[in-house]
A and B are shown apart, each in its own frame.
Chain A
Amino acid sequence: MPVLTGKELRIVGFLCNWCSYGGADTAGVGRFNQPTDLRIIRVPCSGRIDPLFIAKTLINGADGVLVSGCHPRDCHYAEGNFYARRRLEVLKRFLPILGIDPGRFDYTWVSASEGQRWQKVVTVFTEQIHALGPAPRYDAVSADMLAKVAGALGQGGNRVAA
């Protein structure tokens, strides 16, 4: 069994190529201590991040997702992060209605020179996910819970004959 089993959670990070990936690199070159739960996926721009990437990751069992791009007004493509900001904010507010704790997802901006800021972001976010613990899963919902919500909409939402 890997030594970190039970100590690490699965956090997926979507980082833009031009700022945040560079920022994470800066943190690495600077040998700043960081938690190691985060798996980074490099994307060309935060504007490339389809909110569905995040939804799919969380629905399928990741414990957390972190998105980081260039600061507003600093985007390599001028406006990718402005579109991203709207989409990501909408997604963040959508998660709780799906049954996913919104604290499992966050987005932020880190520039290539901000190694220290990256260290802080990744540490704070990882702590937040550890506080929430491993993500509950749709396929592990208890029978009690299912019975509890079965009649939630009363007549009108659950009209299928038994």
Chain B
Amino acid sequence: MSRLEELKTRIKEALPGLECVIGWQKGFDPLHNTPLFMRSEADVDKLEWGPFNVHNPAVYLPTLAGKKVGIVVKGCDSRSVVELLQENLINRDNVVIFGMPCEGVIDLSKVKARLAAAGASAGAASAVTTDGKTVSVTAGGQTVAMPLAEVRADKCGRCQFPNAVLADTYVGDPIAPAAPAAAADADLAALDAMSVPERMAFWRYHMERCIRCYACRNACPMCVCRDHCIAQSREPHWLTQEDTATEKLFFQVVHAMHLAGRCTECGECQRACPMDIPVLALKKHLNRTIHDLFSYQAGVDPQAIPPLLQFKLEEDNIKERSW
């Protein structure tokens, strides 16, 4: 029995006690998988596993809080589940976690670029196959093979949690985390290399493209305020509807600051952005700060308290200023 078949069997066993189990299925074309809500055995048969499962299904858990649900996770997704547990946004008794070792997911923008370079359009994709090392996409009559390592999401190259950090059912043998290959994240390193005024220009440049669709927020599993987001509140009126780079940047600052110490770097904000705006870099920078100050990493230990929800009388790494 293949690992996927075994996973399906285990989900079918658990299904009678659950409202639904969240996973992935084939989408409108072979390149796009979409979330799947399994309520019957027939649904479970649609379950997919592999490099096209880009979404983080943990985003749905808070909306289903109070119901007993199952969830299939990649390693990074499991950290979001753990963070939700840490913040009491979901209840451990109400969630059943299924995991398998993850070998990485594709970055659709990179696949599109490869196809375009070969003269094929991603919109015409008719078939995809993968053997775990290579992804082959057939589009417009030609098949383009691309090494997974070159078209996978940036986060996968540095992933330290390919296996779920918390799982009730784990299928397959855990795999070793990637060696911390690229020492620094390329986007963060590029920002680090800039002067402060260049960074101002950088964000102005990127924010001009933002269409304020809020996809970055809606895809984020830790953005749980939903309809009460301060980006849309009138009282107080934090943000106007003006189409200026400053208003749009301030929205990103809201998102990033509200994620400080909570963001698990699943990358969903940036992946969901239709304008390819590098918004993840802001969160990565905050995560690095949080790590420097409080030696803390989000979504690893269900018992841990996020650092901005606690304090120490004498902080280890914060120096008092002498005026």
Chain A residues close to B by CB (< 8 Å): 51-52, 55-56, 59-60, 72-73, 79, 82-83, 85-87, 89-91, 93-94, 96-101, 106-109, 117, 120-121, 124, 136, 138-139, 141-142, 145-146, 148-150, 152-160
Contact = CB atoms under 8 A, between A and B. Distances in A.
B313 A146 contact: no
A100 B200 contact: yes
B315 A153 contact: no
Nearest to B322: A108
Interface stretch (B59-67, B127-135, B219-227, B284-292): B284-292
B238 interface: yes
Interface in B75-123: 109-110, 113
Interface string B128-171: 00000000000000000000000000100000000000000000
Contacts of B315: 85-86, 89
Contacts of A79: 311
Interface residues of B, number: 55
5 contacts: A60-B246, A90-B293, A149-B194, A152-B191, A157-B276
Contact of A96 (B196, B281, B290, B308): B196
Interface stretch (B8-16, B36-44, B173-181, B251-259): B251-259
B136 to A, nearest CB: 21
Given A56-B250, A87-B308, A157-B190, A138 B109 contact: no
Contacts of A136: 197, 200
Contact of A149 (B109, B205, B281): B205
Q: Of residues B113, B201, B244, B307, which shows the largest number of chain A Cβ atoms within 10 Å of its Cβ?
A: B201
Interface of B: 109-110, 113, 154, 186-187, 190-191, 194, 196-205, 207, 209, 238, 244-246, 249-250, 253-254, 256-257, 260-261, 275-276, 278, 281-282, 285-286, 289-290, 292-294, 307-308, 311-313, 315, 318, 320-321, 323
Contact of B289 (A51, A59, A94, A158): A94
Contacts of B202: 99, 149, 152
Given A55-B250, A155-B113, A86 B307 contact: yes
A157 B279 CA distance: 10
Contacts of A154: 186, 190
B213 to A, nearest CB: 14
Nearest to B254: A52
A23 to B, nearest CB: 12
Contact of B318 (A73, A85, A97, A142): A85
Contacts of B320: 72, 109
Given A93-B289, A153-B186, A139 B245 contact: yes
Contacts of A98: 199-200, 203, 249, 253, 282
A155 B112 CA distance: 12
A116 to B, nearest CB: 11
Contact of B245 (A83, A90, A108, A138): A138
A52 B238 contact: yes
B318 A149 contact: no
B205 A150 contact: yes
Contacts of A60: 246, 250
A162 B312 CA distance: 50
B209 to A, nearest CB: 7
